[in-house]
Chain A
Amino acid sequence: MTINRKLPDTSLEPSGEFAESIRSFRSAIHHMGDHAAAQDATSAWLAPARKRQKSAHRRMVLAWAAALGLLFGGALPLTLHLSHETPTHRNEVAKDQLKDNSSDTALLEQVDSAVSESVPDSLAPLAELDNWSSESKTENRQ
């Protein structure tokens, strides 16, 4: 909370030795300023200021150009990446998947045919053993 107090104007005017110190301070500053101003301000006096102003303007333009360059430089790879997700590309991916499915089916059919083939002669004793085992289980159940 701010309390507004009316400051007496007399409190804003120094007096005594303090006032003398401030007067000396003022004199010193004025003396310094007068010394600097004694140098003639010719038409060329403002030339360094004009040069600084132009440099500052050039720096600002370069900074904006760099910022825009970074912005577009970053946006371009992103745009290229997004172009891979077009409908044409998606159709091609679907076709590839279809091809894989058909090859899997062919493989399964191959396995089925291999399994349903007749037992070779070298493995015949094992097949007989398997048949005897299944017959004895059937008799036990009866």
Chain B
Amino acid sequence: MAQTESVLELADFDEVVRLYRPRIFRYLMASLADRDIAESLTQDCFLKAYNARHQFRGESSLSTWLTRIALNLVRDHLRSRRMRFWQKTRDTAVDVVDISDWIPDGASGPEAICLQQEKVREVWQAVEKLSRQQKNVFLLRFVEEMELSEIAESTGMNTSTVKSHLYRALRIVREHVGDAPKGEL
């Protein structure tokens, strides 16, 4: 039933783009920290999905399928970027994101906002230090709030491996953010 629903969902591709574009863009943005490249790869992701829509059997959810395409695009982009070492580095990229600029307005005072910005920046910098696999798992778990089984399906890893990567990622990020270790992760 769920399989059929997924296949039918894909039939209205405009709706698919409307529903899933923010999610795919978010993941790509968080992975690559470059808005321009994230936008390009988001377009590439949906173009690939559109071209391969007849091959989609509904064995996984549409979200998982699109996430898998996005993961592969990131992998290919990083691979080709290593080859094009003469091109501009990330440090000089025009669209490098300062994540702290995107904290939504809340009711907190300026001091609380500053503290929040500092924490967000620390998490962002810590995530940049993670390995490719750890980063994927961390972002899919804590930004996209995917279940471990869904992450395993998207990444092609088994659930134990996902847990292992997630555990290490959390440890690294926590060390970098510098929270007190007392009974907390």
Contacts and interface: CB of A to CB of B under 8 A. Distances in A.
Given A27-B103, A41-B17, A12 B170 contact: yes
Nearest to A47: B43
Interface string B72-95: 000000000000000000000000
Q: Is the interface of A mostly helix, strand, loop or mixed?
A: helix
A41 B50 CA distance: 14
Interface string B144-185: 010010000000000010011011001001100101100011
A45 interface: yes
A37 interface: yes
Interface stretch (A14-22, A62-70, A79-87, A101-109): A14-22
A55 interface: no
Interface stretch (B1-9, B18-26, B55-63, B128-136): B18-26
A46 B163 contact: no
B21 A37 contact: yes
Given A26-B142, A28-B102, A32-B102, A12 B119 contact: no
Contacts, number: 119
B97 interface: yes
Nearest to A26: B143
A127 B29 CA distance: 113
Contact of B25 (A25, A26, A36): A36
Chain B contact-residue range equals: 35 or more
Interface of B: 14, 17-18, 21-23, 25-26, 29-30, 35, 38-40, 43-44, 46-47, 50, 97, 99-100, 102-104, 116, 119-120, 122-124, 127, 141-143, 145, 148, 160, 163-164, 166-167, 170, 173-174, 177, 179-180, 184-185
